[in-house]
Amino acid sequence: MKEIFRGDLVRLCAMDSDETGKAFSRWDRDSEFRRFLDSGVAHFVSSKKLKKKIEEEIAEQPLRQYPFGVRTLKDDALIGVGDLYVYNWTGRDAFVGLGFGEREFWGKGYGTDLMSLLLRYAFAEINLNRVTLNVFEYNPRAVRSYEKAGFRHEGRMRQFLNKEGKRWDMLFMGILRKEWMAHNEHRIKN
């Protein structure tokens, strides 16, 4: 099996609250990044406040949340974050999230590579059965990337978001361990 923390373009690393807080403070200035990341209202937060929030989140749920920084293999630059949140250990179910703050890495396969790593970690390392995500209707690039990783459409909340005076749906997608294994059969054997 492949090395679990290294993909073809990126590698996972420990979440450094100081570095990630500073990066998020910079990334939050990009309203499109915020629109893709969550459904909340875009606003500015200081790097100190973000650092404290990251530290609190990691300390509160050490056995439920698996946060990672994302670095390029080429120059080791921090370009985003990814995490798994296990919301049901009995059922082995988790929610996955990711975000790339550096625009020059959007639409170039980095998200697909990151999702591949997160799913490998979820299914091969911590033995989950199901990984779920949500994505906004106005982000078709992310939807295609998740489909490429093997996610299936499972539902939608109609008119969930109000952005730029228009209502948008929130889509739910999921992948089961057996689907991931079938989708990655050629990679698992190597």
Write the pLDDT tens digit of every residue in 95-135.
999 988 888 888 899 999 999 999 999 999 999 999 999 99
Pick the CATH number of 10-188 from 3.30.70.20, 3.40.630.30, 3.40.190.10, 3.30.870.10: 3.40.630.30
Averaged over 41-48, what is the pLDDT?
A: 68
Over residues 24-34, the pLDDT tens digits come to 777 777 666 66
Question: Residue 190's pLDDT band (boundaries 50, 70, 90)?
Answer: very low
Residue closest to 53 by CA, chosen among 63, 42, 67: 67
Residue closest to 99 by CA, chosen among 188, 15, 3: 15
60-90: buried (b, 16+ CB within 10 Å) or exposed (e) per residue? eeeeebbbbbbbbeeeeebbbbbbbbbeeee
Question: Residue 1's pLDDT band (boundaries 50, 70, 90)?
Answer: very low
Residue closest to 50 by CA, chosen among 25, 69, 72: 25
Whole-number percent of the chain with pLDDT over 90: 56
CA distance 172 to 168: 13
pLDDT recorded at residue 41: 65
Tokens of 174: 């999921």
pLDDT recorded at residue 156: 96
Question: Residue 90's pLDDT band (boundaries 50, 70, 90)?
Answer: very high
